[in-house]
Amino acid sequence: MINWLNNFRAYVLLIPVCAGVFIAADDQTSIVVVLPELLPDFRIGPGELGLASWTVTGYLIGYTAVMPIMGRVSDRYGHRAVFVGALVIFMLGSALVAVSPDLPKLIGRDEPDLNWMIGARIFQAIGGGAMIPVAIASVGDVLPRARHAMAFAIIGASVEAGGVIGPLWAGLITDVSSWEWVFWINIPLGLAVIAALKFSPAGVRNPARIDFIGGVLFVLALASLTAALSRTGDIDIIFGVLIATAVISLFATVWWHRRTDDPLLPVALLKTLRFSASNVAHLAVGISLITAMVTLPLMANTVLGQSPLDGGLMLLRMTVFIPVGAIVGGLWVHRWGPRWPAMAGFTLAATGLIAMSSWDLGIADPEMTFHLGVAGFGFGLLISPIHTSALHLARSGERGTASSFITVSRMVGMTVGLAAIAAWGTVRFGSLAGDAPLTLEGVEDISADGLTVFRGFFLTAAVVSLIGLIPAWLMSRANVGPA
């Protein structure tokens, strides 16, 4: 009874960090809904949507690039302190996004400039991206190792739930108010989280120094790679410069880590099969998941002729099962270890995606929901086993660094998936559509060609998920605690 009560209190202490990562993940997806509302305020026309997309890409760059160094910082100064600092940055960034149409007036310009919002979004993402690995690392501050699997599942479910609720939350706010309030609301929510965090332990501090040079090099490599991949559909001199910068920075990072005594990246962990396999598995998850998440609404809004709301609801049928799978995965890992739930997760995700690759223009419920549910549940199952396997060997003073690296693996995978969709999908659709005549038959041909492209996306995501079975098999079979 006493042990049960202590565990319950420990899980309660995770509520503030779960709320924080939920808010950050919410803003990662809510921007998609408010874009049509905010673009007129910046006088952005239909021909400048490429610039508008940087409100999403910029957040992704900041979100991903900051994770490694902030994980290390949290190991040095304590998880709670760094989490609060990241949340403050996120709140300040949210306020800057809300007032971004008026920011040019500070330098005497009356015309609004979307670049100010993009900069504010990147700043906001620095706080949002830092919170996730710090939250994962803080699990060890409140729970014994035997209980980590379920805690990872709860935090992962919070992140996924934030991404699911984001568009619906933003739509509700913009229906009753202006788009700015989607960001203003983060401030009172953030203050409530900070107030609740005072009951959480500060966390163990690692006295080792922070490798800022290695951090800057690695962040530069990540940011350059992310920015380059976002331009895959528009190969130009900027793309070449970004790729060159990423490659040079990556080699410089490797060189620096070989000569420094206390490197930023978890070199010792990277030499272990368990940690490396977990990172490769998370890379596969990122590629497969983002491919499905982008393809579903695009398919609904184009070849299926449905509204944006219908496309969002179609996506929701998959993503709503991810938190459910995360909790089940946590229970499974707690009893039997990471390997088999990871194998099951990749298998179910691939099964659902293969079924989706056979859809035709008449796809409907209950078949549609069943396929989406299987894929979403499979992706959810993967959250706990991957994090548990990756962090099993991490010492108390390096959990932040390790959790940052494993999270970055998924984000890089998502960036690669987005780049593949932008490049291969555009070219493939153009080659299939060809010179279709502007007749009813021609339109039907284009719809059929578009369906072929979307089927290819789903099938590719399924293949990547099946490849993920290999690193999943290499993950630990050891139990992490009693039932």
Domain ranges of the chain: 1-208, 211-263, 266-483
Record the tokens describing residue 356, joined without a space.
């989706």
**Helices 321-336, 367-381: inter-axial angle, 10-degree rounding:** 40
The predicted-structure confidence for 281-328, as pLDDT tens digits, reads as follows 999 999 998 888 878 877 877 777 776 667 767 878 888 898 889 889
Torsion angle defined by CA atoms of residues 11, 13, 14 and 16, in that order, rounded to the nearest 10 degrees: 150
The highest-confidence range among 100-104, 196-200, 345-349, 379-383, by mean pLDDT, is: 345-349
At 374 the pLDDT is: 96
At 459 the pLDDT is: 94
Q: For 1-208, which CATH superfamily applies?
A: MFS general substrate transporter like domains (1.20.1250.20)
The predicted-structure confidence for 124-139, as pLDDT tens digits, reads as follows 988 888 888 788 777 7
At 482 the pLDDT is: 42
At 6 the pLDDT is: 55
Under DSSP, the state recorded for 132 is: H
49 pLDDT more than 80: no
At 61 the pLDDT is: 75
At 10 the pLDDT is: 67
Mean pLDDT of the chain: 79
52 pLDDT more than 80: no
**Secondary structure (3-state) at 109:** coil
Percentage of residues of the chain with pLDDT beyond 70: 81
CA 256: distance to chain centroid? 28
Neighbouring residues of 108: CB distance < 8 A, sequence distance ≥ 6: none
61-90 per-residue burial string, b: 16 or more CB within 10 A, e: under 16: bbbbbbbbbbbbbbbbbbbbbbbbbbbebb
Least confident stretch, 1-10, 380-389, 470-479:
1-10
At 372 the pLDDT is: 95
**Secondary structure (3-state) at 413:** helix
The whole-model pTM stands at 0.75
446 pLDDT more than 70: no
CA distance 79 to 60: 23
DSSP letter for each residue of 176-241: HS-TTHHHHTHHHHHHHHHHHHTTS---PPP-SPP-HHHHHHHHHHHHHHHHHHTTTTS-SHHHHH
Interval 77-105 mean pLDDT: 88
CA-CA distances (angstroms) from residue 466 to 287, 414, 463?
A: 12, 17, 5
CA-CA distances (angstroms) from residue 42 to 70, 113, 122, 170, 179?
A: 33, 6, 18, 19, 13
At 193 the pLDDT is: 92
CB of 93 closer than 8 Å to CB of 123: yes
The predicted-structure confidence for 394-443, as pLDDT tens digits, reads as follows 766 666 777 778 878 887 888 778 777 766 665 555 554 444 443 334 33
- 1-208 and 266-483 share one CATH topology? yes
Q: Per CATH, which fold does 266-483 belong to?
A: Growth Hormone; Chain: A; (1.20.1250)
9 pLDDT more than 80: no
